[in-house]
Amino acid sequence: MITSKTISNGILRALLTVVIVGLILLFLYQISIVLTYLVVSIILTMIGKPILNFFKKRLKFSHIFATIITIVIFVLIILGFVLMFIPLISSQGQNLSLLNTAEIEKNISELVNQIKAFLDSHNIDSSKVLKEANISSKINFTFIPDFLNSILGTISSFGVGLGSVLFITFFFLKDRVLFLRGAKKLIPDSYEEQFLNSFEKINDLLSRYFIGLLLQLFIVFLLYLIVLIIFGIPNALIIAFLCAVLNIIPYIGPLIASVLAALLTMLSNLGNDFQSEILPTTIYVLIGFWIVQIIDNNVSQPVIFSKSVSSHPLEIFLVILIAGFLSGILGMIIAVPLYTILKVIGKEFIPENKIIQLLTKDI
């Protein structure tokens, strides 16, 4: 028989559960920076595991020495990027008009005027076309210095974050077996084998995926750089790097990269004739970028997304599309790794499910 006391106890338990869950979520939010360090460290550990194994198995290094060498390689790579791009951004930032709000507005206005003159010369009513857009007055250019200030603030704490990440990564690599033993004690004996198998498969698949992703970005960066150098675009190294990084975002990233490359190409050539120089050069650069993207979409991505995580290209496309609708750009970025983890867990824990069998037949 349900009494008022039973109902009140149920309500109190529900309220207590909500409060506990809320406190846990608040706690996780408060330590979000630490969780970020852990996620980055896990990714670096997955990338570093094949390097560690190479030093141990091929060069016969001890485990601790191979771990130290792996961390040193990470430090050298990060240091190389910093030494390469920070001076370039400092010396060429003025040419890209990244730091001067007034200069940005002036250059955009000049570009709009040249486009207007081009349209008028071809008997197109530029006033009608540009009236509603009114780009130069509608864009709030002050967001750029504010954005850069936030970047500088991030860079100021970069040293602490980098040190923390490398410290955590070192112990993830060094004491990987120890962590596995600790995890085994926390899980029931009946699920121990499935857990260990899942961990090994996830580690292997995601290690291949992240290494392949880095290789893909490097290839795209080189191809973008070649295109920009061929057409004599100033600041080619920085533009190619920025556009290559945008390829981390599946499908949308390359489109944004093309728009960014076109805009920076036009701004870099201000002062030249729009019809005979700026417009043709921009079109050539866009064509070059589209060719790079065709190569990437048909060669690099199928190899990385399909072979590295053992999934069909259409399957990957649908997963990224759904993740984009649910969680936006961040969802698209983490869609493939998360989907791979779920597939491996599904195969180990519910292998009799027919849908799981169909999706994991190549794992």
Among 71-75, 202-206, 302-306, 311-315, the range scoring the smallest mean pLDDT is 302-306
Q: Which residue has the higher pLDDT, 201 or 85?
A: 201
CB 309 within 8 A of CB 336: yes
Q: How far apart are CA 261 and CA 227, in angstroms?
A: 11
Q: Given the structure tokens 């533009």, which residue do they identify?
A: 239
Q: How far apart are CA 344 and CA 348, in angstroms?
A: 6
pTM above 0.75, yes or no: no
pLDDT digits (tens, 9 = 90+) for 10-62: 778 888 888 898 898 888 778 878 887 888 888 888 888 888 988 998 888 89
Q: Taking 50 as the threshold, does the pLDDT of residue 94 lie above it?
A: no
Domain boundaries, the chain: 1-30, 188-363
Residue range 104-128: mean pLDDT, rounded: 69
Q: For residue 124, give the amino acid letter.
A: I
pLDDT digits (tens, 9 = 90+) for 218-241: 889 999 999 999 988 887 888 888
CB 203 within 8 A of CB 183: no
- pLDDT value of position 71: 92
What is the DSSP secondary-structure string of 110-179?
HHHHHHHHHHHHTT--HHHHHHTT-HHHHS-TTHHHHHHHHHHHHHHTHHHHHHHHHHHHHHHHHTHHHH
pLDDT digits (tens, 9 = 90+) for 290-325: 999 888 877 777 677 777 777 777 788 888 888 888
- pLDDT value of position 8: 75
Q: How far apart are CA 254 and CA 223, in angstroms?
A: 13
Q: Which residue has the higher pLDDT, 363 or 258?
A: 258
The two three-digit tokens of residue 343, written as one number? 């597939």
